[in-house]
A and B are shown apart, each in its own frame.
Chain A
């Protein structure tokens, strides 16, 4: 055996060890679709896949035929759990270069994506923090010009007002992004206290009423009798109602009537934000709660027109152990309903019975 062969063996050993060190499972198949090689991760993650076994029937026992076809023939990334109730795995297939038509499958845990998401959330959180500095400067100096507006031409006043409005809009977006990313780390916590939901509705109405009137819309607040206090984070509850009312205002034309109704409903407090506007364009209404589903952006107003405000509202409702639902008819309007438990420890179960 010459030194060259010795190197070959060493290389083979090195390749095998590198193969085993990979965090994803590697399965090498021959042209018949039989498993030839597995690495250490594959043996741990997929103990049922042993050398010599035909892979396709095995996969068909784990998931549906379409997924197996997409994986093996279309080389698509597919996701399924090898065992019912077990962790989901990502699967991907590559053809090996060479005459033998061999194939390599890589299988990895979906948590890897979780890591990626966590990095994205960390980035979003850092970015929203960093953005606040320049935003402070921008908004602050625009305000200084605004205070001195008597020295400005009408066109300069207009420019300053647009800068101020846009800076306010940006500040709300930055806050929303910050809250969403804080939640990814479980850092979005509630400061719970006895909170008067009627008072929250009244204060939101007082804050937003001028801007809604400017758009030629009307806002009414209706408070039911004997409203209990609830254990809630007042600032967050205000944010929920504010997001819903703003959403109704931004997406509807002049002449729309928006109504905020708060009433007791069994063991829950029910907050309904309804409008008689254009209705929602979604086939699946739950889509409104998914981030960024509402693609267009509002060119004016403090609240974003994208889905992030609604996504955040739902998140905050869930943190209060509440529920949120939406009903909408094109041309007739939209109603968002939030249920919050009066007794947070008892939850919404009693309330759910009352609703059905």
Chain B
């Protein structure tokens, strides 16, 4: 079972992700924005995968992705987004899941990548 970093500014969506991941046997840790996510990882938190919201205050998803690729090049990152991301962003991530979230799709990418 994997440990997942949820980077999401909405409390209710973060809780939803946590509940569904825990129901599937995973454990989670949460960051409220991109900057917090980097701090969490720099603080020694070990995770197998990152679920990254796109629109967030203090370091958005695309910016956080750029940083993560430098600091943790092998850590899989899946974008969770309210809009169709542009191709460039899509290619930089390991996966894209659209909101409203299809959890069959999300959980299978967790199994595949984490």
Interface residues of A (CB under 8 A from B): 129, 132-133, 135-137, 139-141, 143-144, 147, 167, 171, 178, 191
Contacts and interface: CB of A to CB of B under 8 A. Distances in A.
Contacts of B19: 144
Contacts of A143: 103
Interface in B1-37: 10, 12-13, 16, 19-20, 23
B82 A132 contact: yes
6 A-B pairs with the lowest CB-CB distances in the bound complex, closest first: A132-B82, A140-B16, A136-B99, A137-B12, A136-B100, A139-B100
A132 B82 CA distance: 6
B16 A129 contact: no
A290 B101 CA distance: 31
Chain B CB within 10 Å, residue with most, of A133, A144, A167:
A133
Contacts of A132: 82-83, 99-100
Contacts of B103: 140, 143
Contacts, number: 41
Interface string B75-114: 0000000110001000000000001110100000000000
B20 A136 contact: no
A191 B91 CA distance: 14
Contact of A133 (B20, B23, B87, B99): B99
A147 B100 contact: no
A191 B90 CA distance: 13
Contact of B20 (A144, A171, A178): A144
Contact of B10 (A133, A171, A178): A133
A184 to B, nearest CB: 16
B74 to A, nearest CB: 29
Contacts of A140: 13, 16, 20, 100-101, 103
Contacts of A144: 16, 19-20, 23
A71 B103 CA distance: 59
Of A136, A167, A191, which is in contact with the most chain B CB atoms at under 10 Å from its CB?
A136
B20 A135 contact: no
Contact of A137 (B16, B82, B83, B87): B16
Nearest to A171: B100
Nearest to A132: B82
B83 A133 contact: no
Contact of B13 (A129, A136, A171): A136
